[in-house]
Amino acid sequence: MPPEPTHCFTYGSLMCEDIMGAVCATRAPFVAATLDGFRRSPVTDEEYPGMVPAPGERVEGVLYLDLPESAWPRLDAFEGIEYSREQVTVHTADGRSLAAWTYVFKPEFASRLGPGEWDFQRFLATGKARFTAQFMGFDESTRP
């Protein structure tokens, strides 16, 4: 049985290295990656997206490599009840296919997903400051 992955595919706010580092309480190397068979949509009245299975579609994101075991409980808590951690295979720009964990929006919350594609550039320009103000207290509240 192969070992569980230590990589994390991110496709929303956690694509920002500073946010990911604060949530995980560590920095990790990262590369651009894509995930086939999913689509990313905005979550209604939020700055972040949700990702759901969608045959024939693809999500571009960031793959963080070799996260320590201590990062996973923090990520699970940060993602909360709307997401489930699932194992996927992602593709890097240099042609590698790697096993990774990612957070998929649970079907019971699908009504919260808005139309269209979540826009990372818009998030950086207008949403990141609001998101950071709202969620980065998470870092303080999860310290042991």
Q: Which domains does the chain have, with CATH numbers?
A: 8-138 (3.10.490.10)
State the average pLDDT over residues 85-94: 96
Q: What is the pLDDT of residue 138?
A: 56
Q: In this predicted model, what pLDDT tens digit does every residue of 52-63 receive, in sequence order?
A: 999 999 999 999
For residue 73, what are the CA distances in angstroms to 14, 24, 49, 120, 134? Answer: 15, 9, 21, 25, 20
- What percent of the chain clears pLDDT 70, i.e. is strictly above it? 92
Compute CA distances 32 → 2, 35, 36, 68, 113, whole Å.
24, 11, 14, 20, 24
For residues 93-108, average pLDDT: 96
Residue 110: predicted pLDDT: 93
Helix ranges (DSSP H) in the chain: 17-24, 71-79, 120-122, 128-135, 137-141
